[in-house]
Amino acid sequence: MRGLLIWAGLLLALGMPLVLAAFSPQLAWREPIYIASSFAGIIGLGLLLVQPLLIAGYLPGFAKIVGRRIHKVVGGALVVAVLAHIGGLWVTSPPDVVDALLFVSPTPFSLWGVIAMWGLIATACLAALRGMLRLRWITWRVLHLGLAAIIVACTVAHALLIEGIMESQSKVLLCVLVVLAALPVALHWRVGRQSTARR
């Protein structure tokens, strides 16, 4: 029963923002490519909630080792979602995307979104080149969690500041859940590191 409640809660947290966004009045005057890119952004935010739950083994039915493997797949899906989000915005308004990438956009949410994007790209490159770089486990862990913290913080700031098709309350709730899911993972690593240092 506990497992069913966890899965039901996760599906609700992921699905509700999408359903409510589908009824947004702003969709009436938006181009299809813009709508698709907006939903890609919502999906990306939802995947940020799933990632720490997978790596920590919090999802019922997934052992930690299985969760870590799926974590990599979801990470790839997150990159695709972000690229679709930015690509759609590029098609609809190239000057705005250029301003954002050059950090000269007058809208603060663009700054946080671009930082989150580069953090995600750096994480993907780090994961792809991990074997080639021959990083020590602790070095990899520090870099990966540091980048993940940047991605989460900047994505949440980006989502909260932007007034798009997401319904406000479901957006805030999803952002809070993303942060709450990420914090125990970072705390667990920090405690484990301190324990190792003491030994």
11-33 residue pLDDT tens: 999 999 999 999 999 898 888 99
Do the beta carbons of residue 51 and residue 75 sit within 8 Å? Answer: yes
First to last CA, the chain: 39
Is position 79 within any domain?
yes
Query: Containing domain of residue 17, as a range?
Result: 2-194
Is position 186 within any domain?
yes
Amino acid at the residue 55: I
Is position 65 within any domain?
yes
Is position 7 within any domain?
yes
Coil, strand or helix at 58: coil
Separation CA 170–CA 55 (nearest Å):
24
The predicted-structure confidence for 155-189, as pLDDT tens digits, reads as follows 999 999 998 899 999 999 999 999 999 988 877 65
Is position 159 within any domain?
yes
- In which band, very low, low, confident or very high, does the pLDDT at 100 lie, cut at 50, 70 and 90? very high
Tell me, what DSSP letter sits at residue 127?
Answer: H
Is position 199 within any domain?
no
Is position 176 within any domain?
yes
Is position 127 within any domain?
yes
pTM of the predicted model as reported, rounded to 2 decimal places: 0.88
Q: Please state the domain count of the chain.
A: 1
